[in-house]
A and B are shown apart, each in its own frame.
Chain A
Amino acid sequence: MARLILQLDSIYKSFNKKQVLNDVSVSLYQGQITTLIGPNGAGKSTLAKIILGLVKPDSGARISPVPLKIGYMPQKIKIDPTLPISTYRFLQLANTSQSACNEALETVGISHLTATPIQNLSGGELQRALLARAILRQPNLLVLDEPVQGVDVNGQNELYKMINSLAKTLDCGVLMVSHDLHLVMSATDQVICLNGHICCHGRPEHITQDPAFLNIFGQTTAIYTHRHDHSLHEERLNAGPHQPGNCRNHD
């Protein structure tokens, strides 16, 4: 059994009286890739920030049985063009070791861009630079927020392959936030479908059959008449934190 790295237990969070996360529990394990999916406004980024420790939940526990070292790849990053900073220097902010920086640049395949100003990188190159910075400190948990945003399809496949092999070599847990399940399917051990609360979770091949998933994502890919009845997929999934009746957001 893989080692538990981080556990969130029954997290609640609201902003300006709007409930964003409702009784959300997540467990992240060493060597496992977990993908967090959900429509816009589902609370994915908030959940990721709670996992990162940047946002405090209103209630619920964040427990880590091991010393946590997080590598984070933000969704987008905007650096003012007046700040003269090279890609190499950008990495050095996280880890001053020269060999570590060079190695990370090598790993993500942009060692030819060492001296390039970070603002001049293309979308795909910037994603790689961010990934390089995320792995610099030898993390045991990688959190990737929409890691392939703004990257073309070929580049997306390459990035996913890279993330996959990194998860293996670093032997770390990975949490990936995405709004598109199709590309990440094969590379994911666990999928959590979020819409304020956890609609369903489990292995990707199960998730895609789940009525709650289809209700949110399936309209374009499957013709399906949804009868919202949690007892149906409860049996099929054996999902842990999912309780019938806590699914108030979509009916």
Chain B
Amino acid sequence: MIDFLLYALLAGLGVGLVAGPLGCFVVWRRMAYFGDTLAHSALLGVSLGVMLDINLNITVTAIPLMMALGLVFLEQRGLLSLDTLLGILSHSALAAGLIVISLLPDVRVDLMSLLFGDLLAVTKSDLGVIYSVSAVVLILLAILWKQLINITVNPELAAIEGTNVTVVSTALMLITALVIALAMKVVGVLLITALLIIPAATARRLSHTPEKMAVVASIIAMTTVVMGLAMSWFIDTPAGPSVVVSAALLFCLSLLYRRQLN
């Protein structure tokens, strides 16, 4: 009876755990708009998955990943600025996703839950997927951590010192696509970037090393999940937006915190 709340909580905690460190990279590398674009294309992934009858977990990861690789290709051709390219792809993907959904004749897809998440509908098998993917993401981040920091600081120096920048940044895209596929269940495609960015931005004021910032961001993201669910439970608000509002609230509180001078 209370199972669905427990599942929701566990799912949210699993996603919050990885949203912290990945969100840090999104903030450090100024990838917010990039994250948005991938998230919007995840909606296209859902609709194509339903239409072609493919496992949704696969299409929801594959379409954003293809979008990311397409972006890299277009950016290298240098026709338009990255900002403009992101604007074109992000909204085209969202629009195309909505159109494909509307074309599906017999299937009724709950659009609201795709756009804003449906945390309370998480099942036991969803939990299995969330925790195994989270584990993969954390392991990848741990292995690549130093190289990721290095290419974030300066890709040229990293390349000269022996880091394969293409491989490492492609791996980061793959990780981003995976986390977006997960976070979709919690906050929906429109709010994913918020779950990545707000905890990381909050953690910045409390941290003086990249590692500490990643851990603090994780803790904050998990806290906001608990706060959001509590809000949803007690005052009957939608879970996804409640999580994001809680994150924003914590961010505002962090602004009041003054750094102690040694």
A203 in the interface (beta carbon within 8 A): no
In the complex, what residue of chain A is closest to B152 when comparing beta carbons? Answer: A83
Enumerate chain B residues within 8 angstroms of A137, measured Cβ to Cβ: 161
Given contacts A72-B160, A82-B28, A84-B213, contact A93 B153 (CB under 8 A): yes
Q: Is A85 an interface residue (CB 8 A)?
A: yes
Q: Is the CB of A72 within 8 A of B157?
A: yes
A54 within 8 A of partner (CB) = yes
In the bound complex, what is the Cα–Cα distance between A137 and B160 (angstroms)?
11
Binary flags per residue of A81-92, CB closer than 8 Å to B gives 1, else 0: 011111001100
A19 to chain B, nearest CB (A): 17
- Chain A, residue nearest B158 (CB): A93
* Closest-CB distance, B10 to chain A (whole angstroms): 30
Check if B27 sits within 8 Å of A70, measured CB to CB: no
A77 to B161, CA, bound (A): 16
Distance, CA A137 to CA B162, complexed state (A): 11
Beta-carbon contacts under 8 Å, B171-206 to A: 200-201, 204
Is the CB–CB distance between A54 and B159 below 8 Å? yes
B108 contacts partner chain A, Cβ-Cβ < 8 Å: no
B160 touches A52 (CB 8 A): yes
Min C-beta distance of A17 to chain B, whole Å: 13
Q: Is B154 a contact partner of A53 (Cβ separation < 8 A)? A: no
The distance from the CB of A21 to the nearest CB of chain B, in whole angstroms, is: 19
**Residue in B27, B150, B157, B209 whose CB lies within 8 Å of A82:** B27
Q: Is the pair B30, A80 in contact by a Cβ cutoff of 8 Å?
A: yes
B-contacting residues, A86-113, CB 8 Å: 86, 89-90, 93-94
Q: Evaluate contact between B210 and A133: CB separation under 8 angstroms.
A: no
B160 & A70 in contact (Cβ 8 Å cutoff)? yes
Chain A residues in 8 Å Cβ range of B146: 93
Q: B231 an interface residue at 8 Å Cβ cutoff?
A: no
Q: Give A245 to B69 CA distance when docked, in angstroms.
A: 45
Contacts A80-B28, A93-B146, A93-B149 given; indicate if A85 touches B210 (C-beta within 8 A): yes
Cα–Cα, bound, A89→B146 (Å): 11
Any chain A CB within 8 A of the CB of B3? no
Interface string of A103-134 (1 = CB under 8 A from B): 00000000000000100000000000000010
A-B contact pairs, 16 of them (CB 8 A): A16-B78, A52-B156, A80-B28, A80-B29, A82-B204, A83-B152, A83-B210, A84-B209, A84-B212, A85-B149, A85-B210, A86-B208, A93-B146, A93-B149, A93-B153, A93-B158
Across chains A and B, which 10 residue pairs bring their CB atoms closest together, nearest first?
Answer: A83-B28, A72-B160, A93-B150, A84-B208, A82-B27, A84-B207, A82-B204, A94-B161, A80-B28, A77-B154
| Interface residues in chain A, defined as those with a beta carbon under 8 Å from any beta carbon in chain B | 16, 52-54, 70, 72, 74, 77, 79-80, 82-86, 89-90, 93-94, 117, 133, 137
Other A-B pairs beyond A79-B153, A82-B200, A84-B204, 20, CB < 8 Å:
A52-B160, A54-B156, A70-B160, A72-B156, A72-B160, A74-B157, A79-B154, A82-B27, A82-B201, A82-B204, A83-B152, A84-B212, A85-B153, A86-B208, A93-B153, A93-B157, A94-B161, A117-B208, A133-B157, A137-B161
